[in-house]
Structure 1
Amino acid sequence: MGHVIVGVDEGPEAPTLIAVAAEMAQRHGAPLSAVTVGRDGAEQDGAPWLPDLLLRIREKHPQLQCAGFTLTGTPADEITEAASGARLLVIGSRGLSGISGIVRGSVSQAILEGTSSPVLVVPSRTTSDKHRASG
């Protein structure tokens, strides 16, 4: 009935996002597709960090079908398109707000506005840690 898609980029949040997506895929008996996006016109060697993360997922969930894909374009557009017909889309949120969020734009917000698939937004741990430290 559809894949669980995880939109992920290289960074400290990647292992957590893929692990959450794998748990959801396992729970729903769906394949997992990890999608990362490079910029238009950028030379792509794929995402050399992605196979290692998927290997760890396969070790923990040997019955789970999972694959990684590197797309080229605008992250929000490519992830939204990849999630068309998905059982679930898992994305991260870096928690940018205020001027930083306006200047950089919010990929997660654009995806939420553009997709018809169910979406699980996983907040960044570093954002949560900042709030705990200041509270």
Structure 2
Amino acid sequence: MMPTWQGFWCRPGARTTWPQRFSRSWPAITFRWTTVAEAELRKALQLVEAAVARVEADSVTHSSGLAKVSLVGTGMLNTPGVAARMFRTLAESNINIEMISTSEIRITCIVEQELAEAAVRALHAAFDLDQVPAARA
């Protein structure tokens, strides 16, 4: 039995955002983005394309060579400006944000894979995460 596309996303390493829906008129546009390891891309595309054909959706697109960079922490719940600071830091580092996903305690940006390390370093500096904490007395 061939696995379904829904089952594929439940596997370790597959991460899916909640679908986003835009509907000012019919037909509504719904899109979902999912990240999978490059090694899993071909299999994921086969499953998704089969599902798209079954539900008569219009299309599937994909991109390669991307990476996720995230800020995570409960402290951002009550701290205004975290997203602005993250986006400004990446912009000042000439790192384009391809896509953004958020939750109450997480901001994730999709960036070019070759710039991921520079993005992490810039964000560490901007949020003082590159500092060694002082020893507690």
TM exceeds 0.5? Answer: no
Larger radius of gyration: 2
TM-score (normalised: structure 2): 0.31
Q: Which has the higher contact order (CA 8 A, sep 6+)?
A: 1
